[in-house]
Amino acid sequence: MLFEHPASAVAADLHSHSSVSDGVLSPRELVARAAEHAVELFALTDHDELSGLDEAATTARELDLRFVHGVEISVTWAATTVHVVGLGIDPDDRRLRHALAGVRSGRTARARQMGDGLEAAGIADAYEGALRYVRNPELISRTHFARFLVETGICHDVRDVFKRYLVAGKPGYVPHEWAHLDEAVEWISAAGGVAVLAHPGRYRVGDLKLHELVKEFREAGGVALEVVTSNHTREQVRQFAALAIAMELEASRGSDFHGPDEAENVELGVVAPLPSGLTPVWHRFV
Ligand code: AMP
Ligand code: MN
Ligand code: MN
Ligand code: MN
C-alpha cells in the first residue's frame, strides 16, 4: 500500500485563467464558478499577470473558498515555449511585478506582426478583431486571435485555429523570446511562492529533452510537476507521476480552465485525482 498524503483528499484546482489574461470569465465569475463546482482549494494563474488576484481573493473570502495566489509565467527554454506556474506568491512583490511587466511588454508588437502574417494569408484586420476579445490591453495572446478566427467562420474551433494558423510554420505564428527558465523560477521563489512546471505533456520535445528540462527546472529551485491537467491522457498522468517521483518533485493538479465554451470536457474542478505515492504540492496551502 503506497503512502497517501492526507492533503490528497482536498479538491484542489491550481491552474486557471481569467479575462485578465486569456480566460473568458472575470476573476469574480471564475471564483464563483469554482465554488459551484465543489473546488475546495483554488488558484488563479493568469499568464504573466497578477492584476486579477485581488478581486479573486476577495470573492474567495466571501464564498469561504480557500484561495492560492498564482501566476503562469511564459518561458523560452531551448527554443521551446514552456510555462511555469507560481503558487503562493506574494502579489505585492515588487520584483515579481516588475519582471512580469517585462515579460508582457513584447506582446503588442508580436500581435501586430501576427496580424500582418494573417493579412498576407488573406485574413484582414485580425489584430483589430483579436483586440475586441482582449480585456487587458497589456495582454493580447494567441487565444484572442483564435476566438476572432472562430467568429469569422474561417475555423470551426479554437483548436483548429491553432493547428492551421498559430503554431510554428503557420502564417500567424511569430516566434518570441519569453523569460529564462532559471529567472522565472527565481522570481517565484523570491516572492515566497513555489514553482510548478506546467502541463509537461504539451511540450513538443522528446523524452530525453523533457528530462533535461525537468532537471534544469529542479536545479533552478523548481518544486513540483503538474502531473494532472485536463489535456493529459491517462498514460501521460502515469508517465509524469513516475517522473515526479524519480526527480523528487512534488505534484500539482489543475484544470487550466479558460472559459465555459473554450474546450470540450474542461471544467473547473473536473480533474483526475493524483496517482498514489505523490506529494501534492498543495500540502503547503491546506
Ligand atoms: P500566447 O501566450 O499568446 O503564446 O498564447 C498561449 C495560449 O494559447 C495558451 O496559454 C493556451 O491558452 C492557448 N493555446 C496554445 N496552444 C493551443 C492549442 N493547440 N489549442 C488551444 N489553445 C492553445
Ligand atoms: Mn492560455
Ligand atoms: Mn500553459
Ligand atoms: Mn494555463
Mean pLDDT of 96-120: 98
Of 189, 178, 194, 223, the residue nearest 83 (C-alpha): 178
Q: How large is the C-alpha radius of gyration of the chain?
A: 18
85 CA distance to ligand 1 middle (Å): 15
Distance (Å, whole) CA 96 – CA 192: 10
Which listed ligand is nearest to 15 at the C-alpha? 4
- Which residues surround ligand 1 with Cβ inside 6 Å? 22, 47, 74, 141-143, 158-159, 162, 258
Q: Mind listing the pLDDT tens digit for each residue in 245-279?
A: 999 999 999 999 999 987 777 999 999 999 999 99
Ligand 1 nearest atom to the CA of residue 158, by list position: 21
Shortest-distance Cα residue to atom 6 of ligand 1: 142
Distance (Å, whole) CA 226 – CA 128: 35
17 CA distance to ligand 4 middle (Å): 6
Using pLDDT thresholds of 50, 70 and 90, give the confidence band for residue 1.
low
Mean pLDDT of 102-124: 98
**Would you state the pLDDT for residue 261?**
80
Residue 2 pLDDT > 70:
no
**Would you state the pLDDT for residue 191?**
98
256 CA distance to ligand 4 middle (Å): 5
Q: Map grid coordinates 493568469 to a residue.
A: 46
**In this structure, how many other beta carbons lie within 10 angstroms of the beta carbon of residue 146?**
24
Shortest-distance Cα residue to atom 22 of ligand 1: 159
Mean pLDDT of 46-63: 98
Residue 50 pLDDT > 90:
yes
Order of strands, sheet of 12-13, starting from the edge strand that comes earlier in the sequence: 12-13, 41-44, 66-77, 80-87, 194-197, 224-229, 250-254
